[in-house]
């Protein structure tokens, strides 16, 4: 019996109205609603699409594919599209693998709905064990039920255990002809190399901001929502190359915009709402703040930071915006002007800054902002840390770079405001293991004896003591093996024992040198056993028996003390140089640092006048 409306008409009864579709259909978020259903809708991955299309047309299909990239760029979507492409039979049921699946045949529709029996999706995060992989190994032996290929899609494959990977290796290397594997992962570095070598790998790229912005504009047009282009640009920037992240933000922005409309979705998505919603800094405000950093107006700078903080901009976001702008200015400096989201006003400002700031200033600005960003990130009081970091940048902007400082000093010297530096023939030269200004120039071809009574006097820092008795010099007939001075004794012992050499240098103040007798005063007590060992070394090296006697008289400073006096004299000599004095007048808090081979000290060269440097404490 038919249920047509004619039956009701024949009986004179009005037919009941057809049931209306439910108005309470569940809402699908934009990220799911606008998931690409074909390779043509997949944005930003042209190289991968071309490779897959050529492989399908030439029948050169790999048995395993690996999709890697950051979140939200289409890894799982691409895996499903590959499954469609391989199993599509066309609307007439006679088609073969194609890069443009029809989307209407049974395999295409079943894969899109996630109900196709021959396409098995597995989340490796919840199926990590070898038992889960063993089920796959057992199942691949059986042919597909209705499709051309049985396809296994394993998402987040890096979560599989080591044993699970090992169990899969043999099957992955030589699977049956009807089986294809498609892996997806965000952390490809955690996938064993033995698995990577068995797969055809595709690295999905981050989507460019201009592509995302155009894609979002297309979506809001379909949704019947008005949106400012600047708002879409902000969402594209915040998405950081992820389509899913961007669509989630857009979904939230549309819901937020309804508050300004009639509640029917007619509210416009505006840039100011996006900034408030995400706590983003206004790019225009960041440019104004950057300009205040360069002009040195501290009061205006702090007022601008207060205003941004009051409207909800986080200090860390503020520092991040300044870093990004500093990077943009530097790119403009080198000729990279490819940001399509910038207004003409912004482009003009960037051009002016790039022409007015030198590379050293831009690099110093970047380093200071980066240091400030790290401090704000770690600070318990980020608001205060942001103020201090920006004020430090302002103060540093007034400091001349080393090149300009050198030019200033040269100009002052040429104009007679300071005396030209004296010739540097007698400037102490750097020696190995000693500070640069502690070394002592030596006569050509002859090493200077540290025990020489004149050695301290030449340094300009002779201690206030009476001269001691003359040290007897060895006769000319002495054998060559016998050292001619106390420093020669020290060097001879050092060739055998560095420890014993350090005792002679640090603990002995020489009173009389009369080979083979040495009279001394001890800086600190010396063990008789150490002196006996030193005597044994000298006897072995010279053939004579040397004695050490602790006596009285006017001692000379120890060798280490002499070296320290010479260092102080050289230091003072450098400080008295006209150019160094001028540098200290320009920087009152500067300090003269010593050079050393250790990594925690700054090299202080004094070979030439222009190499003398100071560092702010």
Q: Is the pLDDT at 139 greater than 70, yes or no?
A: yes
Q: Do 189 and 218 share a domain, yes or no?
A: no
Q: Do 46 and 182 share a domain, yes or no?
A: yes
**Neighbour tally for 446: CB within 10 Å:** 7
List the beta bridge partners of residue 121: 153
Q: Do 57 and 179 share a domain, yes or no?
A: yes
Please report the DSSP string for 208-269 in residue order.
PHHHHHHHHHHHHHHHT--B-HHHHHHHHHHHTT-HHHHHHHHHHHHHHHGGGTTSSS---B
- Two tokens, residue 112: 């899109």
Identify the residue with better confidence: 258 or 333. Answer: 333
At 603, the pLDDT band (50, 70, 90 cuts) reads very low
| H/E element, 123 | strand 119-123
Q: Do 488 and 382 share a domain, yes or no?
A: no
Is residue 527, in this structure, part of any structural domain at all?
yes
Q: Could you tell me the pTM of the whole model?
A: 0.53
Mean pLDDT of 235-243: 87
Last residue of a domain, one of 278, 296, 317: 278
The rounded distance, in Å, linking the Cα atoms of 610 and 385 is 37
Of 229-233, 411-415, 503-507, which gets the smallest average pLDDT? 411-415
Of 129-138, 321-330, 364-373, 485-494, which gets the smallest average pLDDT? 485-494
Q: Do 480 and 376 share a domain, yes or no?
A: no
Mean pLDDT of 556-560: 88
Q: Do 513 and 552 share a domain, yes or no?
A: yes
Q: Do 221 and 327 share a domain, yes or no?
A: no
Domain count, the chain: 5
Q: What is the pLDDT of residues 499-545, one digit of tens each?
A: 888 888 888 888 888 888 888 888 888 888 888 888 888 888 888 88
CB 488 within 8 A of CB 505: no
Q: What is the pLDDT of residues 341-351, one digit of tens each?
A: 666 777 888 88
Q: What is the pLDDT of residues 52-92, one digit of tens each?
A: 989 988 989 899 999 999 888 989 999 999 999 999 988 88
The rounded distance, in Å, linking the Cα atoms of 600 and 40 is 58
Domain interval for residue 272: 209-278
* pLDDT on residue 471: 43
Last residue of a domain, one of 258, 278, 298: 278
């Amino acid at each position: 019996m038919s249920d047509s409306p004619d039956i009701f008409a024949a009986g004179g009864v009005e037919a009941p109205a057809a049931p209306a579709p439910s108005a309470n259909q569940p809402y699908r978020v934009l990220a799911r609603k606008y998931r690409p259903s074909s390779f043509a809708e997949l944005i930003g991955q042209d190289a991968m699409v071309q490779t897959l299309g050529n492989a399908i047309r030439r029948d050169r299909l790999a048995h395993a594919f690996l999709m890697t990239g950051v979140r939200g760029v289409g890894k799982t979507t691409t895996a499903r599209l590959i499954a469609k492409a391989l199993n599509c039979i066309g609307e007439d049921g006679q088609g073969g693998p194609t890069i443009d699946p029809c989307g209407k045949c049974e395999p295409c529709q079943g894969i899109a709905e996630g109900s196709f029996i021959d396409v098995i999706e597995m989340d490796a995060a919840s199926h990590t064990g070898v038992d889960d992989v063993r089920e796959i190994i057992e199942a691949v032996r059986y042919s597909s039920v209705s499709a051309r290929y049985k396809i296994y899609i394993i998402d987040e494959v890096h979560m599989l255990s080591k044993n699970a990977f090992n169990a899969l290796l043999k099957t992955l290397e030589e699977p049956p002809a009807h089986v294809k594997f498609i892996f997806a992962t965000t952390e490809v570095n955690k996938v064993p190399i033995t698995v990577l070598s068995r797969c055809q790998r595709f690295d999905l790229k981050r989507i460019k901001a201009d592509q995302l912005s155009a894609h979002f504009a297309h979506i809001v047009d379909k949704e019947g929502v008005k949106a400012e282009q600047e708002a879409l640009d902000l969402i594209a920037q915040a998405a950081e190359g992820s389509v899913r992240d961007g669509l989630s933000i857009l979904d939230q922005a549309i819901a937020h915009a309804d508050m300004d409309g009639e509640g029917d979705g007619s509210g416009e998505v505006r840039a100011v709402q996006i900034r408030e919603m995400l706590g983003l800094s206004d790019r225009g405000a960041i440019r104004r703040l950057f300009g205040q950093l360069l002009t040195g107006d501290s009061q205006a700078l702090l007022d601008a930071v207060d205003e941004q903080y009051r409207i909800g901009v986080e200090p860390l976001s503020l520092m991040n915006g300044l870093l990004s702008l500093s990077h943009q200015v530097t790119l403009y400096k080198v000729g990279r002007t490819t940001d399509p989201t910038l207004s003409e006003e912004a482009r003009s400002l960037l051009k002016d800054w790039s022409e007015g700031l030198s590379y050293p200033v831009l690099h110093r600005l970047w380093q200071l902002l980066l240091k400030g960003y790290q401090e704000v990130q770690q600070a318990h009081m980020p608001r205060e840390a942001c103020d201090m970091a920006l004020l430090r940048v302002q103060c540093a902007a007034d400091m001349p770079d080393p090149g300009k400082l050198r030019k200033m000093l040269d100009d002052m010297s040429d104009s007679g405001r300071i005396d030209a530096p004296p010739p540097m023939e007698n400037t102490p030269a750097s020696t190995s293991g000693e500070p640069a200004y502690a070394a002592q120039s030596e006569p050509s071809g002859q090493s200077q004896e540290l025990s020489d009574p004149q050695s301290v006097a030449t340094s300009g820092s002779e201690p206030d003591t009476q001269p001691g008795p003359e040290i007897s010099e060895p006769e000319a007939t002495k054998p060559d093996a016998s050292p001619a001075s106390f420093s020669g004794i020290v060097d001879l012992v050092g060739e055998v024992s560095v420890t014993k050499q350090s005792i002679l240098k640090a603990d002995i103040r020489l009173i009389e040198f009369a080979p083979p007798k040495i009279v001394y005063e001890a800086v600190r007590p010396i063990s008789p056993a150490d002196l006996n060992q030193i005597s044994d070394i000298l006897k072995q090296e010279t053939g004579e028996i040397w004695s050490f006697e602790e006596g009285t008289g006017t001692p000379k400073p120890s060798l280490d003390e002499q070296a320290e006096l010479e260092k102080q004299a050289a230091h003072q000599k450098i400080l008295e140089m006209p150019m160094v004095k001028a540098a200290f007048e320009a920087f009152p808090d500067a300090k003269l640092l010593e050079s050393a081979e250790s990594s925690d000290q700054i090299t202080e060269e004094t070979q030439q006048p222009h190499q003398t440097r100071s560092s702010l404490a």
